[in-house]
Amino acid sequence: MGYTMAEKIIKNHLRYGELKRGSEIGIEIDQTLTQDSTGTMVYLQLEALNIDKVKTKLSVAYVDHNMLQQGFENADDHLFIKTAANRFGVVYSKPGNGICHQVHLERFAKPGETLIGSDSHTPTAGGMGMLAMGAGGFDVSSAMAGGLYYITMPKIVNIKLTGKLNKYTSSKDIILELLRRLTVKGGVGKIFEYTGDGVKTLSVPERATITNMGAELGLTTSLFPSDDVTLEFLKKQNREDDYTPLFPDDDAIYDETIEIDLSELEPLIALPHSPDNVVKVSDVAGLKVDQVVIGSCTNSSYSDLKLVANILKDKKANDDVSLVISPGSRQVLMSLSNNGYLTDIIKSGARILECGCGPCIGMGQAPQTGGVSIRTFNRNFKGRCGTQDSYVYLTSPLVAALAAIYGKIVDPREVEFDIDISTYDDFILDDSMFIYPSNEKKEIVKGPNIKPFPIGKELENTINGNVLLKVEDNITTDHIVPSTAKLLPFRSNIPELSNYCFNAIDKDFASRCKSYKNGIIVGGQNYGQGSSREHAALVPLYLGIRAVLVKSFARIHRANLINAGIIPLTFEDEKDYENIGLYDELIFDDIVEAIKDKDYIDINNKTKSTIIRAKIELSNREREIILYGGLLNYAKGAKR
């Protein structure tokens, strides 16, 4: 029996477990990345672990999220990360160098190697045949310290691409089509591998768009082959020595196969307020547009923005449209400038932002009240853009650029335009905004906004807590800890951030938690989807949440809860969800014994005089982590 691409990489890095679907495996990690929104916690954790130098082949600390410096907080965080990076042997990417995923793809990603990052869109590097996964900060710091990264061995799905995209469609339409078919829950517990003749028609940036937004499917990661297209891209980056071929064996066995004929795709668009709310562009053609934002780690490559420049050349953005463009990296920006495309973009009336995440994470460019914003991003959760009653649509750079010109959504097939379809020009290569660690040990500098992170306590044998929040399906980490320009500066200050926990759903949640000793959260399907931010576990931990009982979890958030020492439980009978109310008092007797060796626990709902059976779906290692009160305690060998 042959191996898939993912199996080949996992096999070469496997240090615990076996290649058996559904079993826990531990793999060695070659590279890590952090960004400033989540990275502060990672480096505080490395300090707590008393690590001298990171053990990975390469670790990079990017500054790309908290770029607005309205106060001292963000600048202080950047200085902390810079000095911590030097202390621990990590490469530091200065503000303005670009978005972590775009820059890492350009300068560091290697076919056949492993990468985890404290950002859910780390799978972007899968566009170059790298096994790249988003993870919580505790898992990233553990890997940097030399530990393994543990996951449940996923199912592997073959996405077979045939045919070729036409002039009116792009790789964004491929991933939107998968979201249309499968929904945001459709990839949980799976890796997608792209095969077929259609693969070779896609450039590395196009592939990276697909692997990036695969996170919205709930995937563990996505992989493309490392082939002649990969080699061409690496040559343009002067990194051909990093090339390693990677293909599935002819007799590789997949758990499932999904076929997409690229020639049959139509231009697609995701309606508010979910990436899987996908329809044909023709279905919403004519809708008036107030704002167009092009960029993010999904569609900010040189080829993306070159196409946009072609569309905008000798044209003006509509008078009623605010057109905003953020290049994904300094390399992209300089290459656009060098080759004349930046002038075409600027002449159109576009506002050029610095190379960073910006509007995608609510850091500026919030649309007007009730505004319609067309974006090339990967998420359009309600309020994420900074305006609660706005309407955010997700689509390709082509459709977005045309909307900017016409002031409305238009079907590309109904208008005339010219584009240069050549993939690459010469890139401007300049790594001067990377700071490599020195041998000199300097002090780590911490500003007053940087507070210690909460640490879980040894599990007690009885938990008596009240249900302090009950939520529906598809709760995102944005719901749990909002991502806005106002709150992002407090990512290194858990006590302050806790005041806004679940603020968009229930403004009284934080104060309610502070009134009770222990709390329980009850939720529906796919709880914790979206960003990998471990703050969505650390803030509830700080507020006294002891357990989360839901119908199902998103992968990364479940891991973050375990790492924080919060017990993740799922209903054995989902009908029990309906029989739990806010403030119900739940009693967990003999929870230590249940965590040690049982697959369930019977929870006494004292308020309703009923018993709820919850499933304990934990590996032996995860059980130990919960008993210790979190990964940090477990890693340091604390005694129970």
Residue 118's pLDDT band, with cuts at 50, 70 and 90, is very high
Residue 425, both tokens: 């020009």
* Average pLDDT value for residue range 562-583: 97
Whether residue 552 is predicted with pLDDT greater than 80 in this model: the reply is yes
Residue 306, both tokens: 């070159």
Torsions phi, psi of 263, nearest 5?
A: -70, -15
Q: Are 333 and 342 in contact (CB under 8 A)?
A: yes
Q: Are 352 and 320 in contact (CB under 8 A)?
A: no
Q: What is the pLDDT of residue 421?
A: 63
Residue 638's pLDDT band, with cuts at 50, 70 and 90, is low
Rounded to whole angstroms, the Cα distance separating 526 from 546 reads 19
Domains 5-264 and 269-414 share a fold: yes
pTM as predicted: 0.94
* Average pLDDT value for residue range 528-533: 88
Q: Which residue is associated with the tokens 């009908």?
A: 575
What is the gyration radius of the CA atoms in the chain, in angstroms?
A: 24
Q: Which pairs from 12-21 meet CB under 8 Å and 24+ separation?
A: 12/112, 13/114, 13/131, 15/148, 16/148, 16/150, 17/153, 18/153, 19/153, 20/153, 21/153, 21/154, 21/155, 21/255
Nearest to residue 229, comparing CAs of 169, 161, 177? 161
Domain range summary for the chain, segments of one domain joined by +: 5-264, 269-414, 463-635
* Average pLDDT value for residue range 527-534: 90
Q: Which pairs from 248-251 meet CB under 8 Å and 24+ separation?
A: 248/2, 248/3, 248/4, 248/5, 248/8, 248/158, 248/193, 248/195, 249/2, 249/3, 249/4, 250/2, 251/1, 251/2
Q: What is the pLDDT of residue 28?
A: 98
> Which distant-in-sequence residues (6+ apart) come within 8 Å of 349 by Cβ?
316, 317, 323
Q: What is the pLDDT of residue 346?
A: 97
DSSP-based three-state secondary structure for 75: helix
Does the domain made of 463-635 have the CATH classification 3.20.19.10? yes
Q: pLDDT tens, 203-255?
A: 999 999 999 999 999 999 999 999 999 999 999 999 999 999 999 999 999 99
Nearest to residue 474, comparing CAs of 381, 612, 568? 381
Residue 640's pLDDT band, with cuts at 50, 70 and 90, is very low
Q: Which residue is associated with the tokens 């070659």?
A: 30
Which has more confidence, 143 or 489? 143
Whether residue 441 is predicted with pLDDT greater than 90 in this model: the reply is no
Torsions phi, psi of 636, nearest 5?
A: -85, -5
* Average pLDDT value for residue range 101-124: 97
Q: What is the pLDDT of residue 489?
A: 85
Q: CATH code for 5-264?
A: 3.30.499.10
Q: CATH code for 269-414?
A: 3.30.499.10
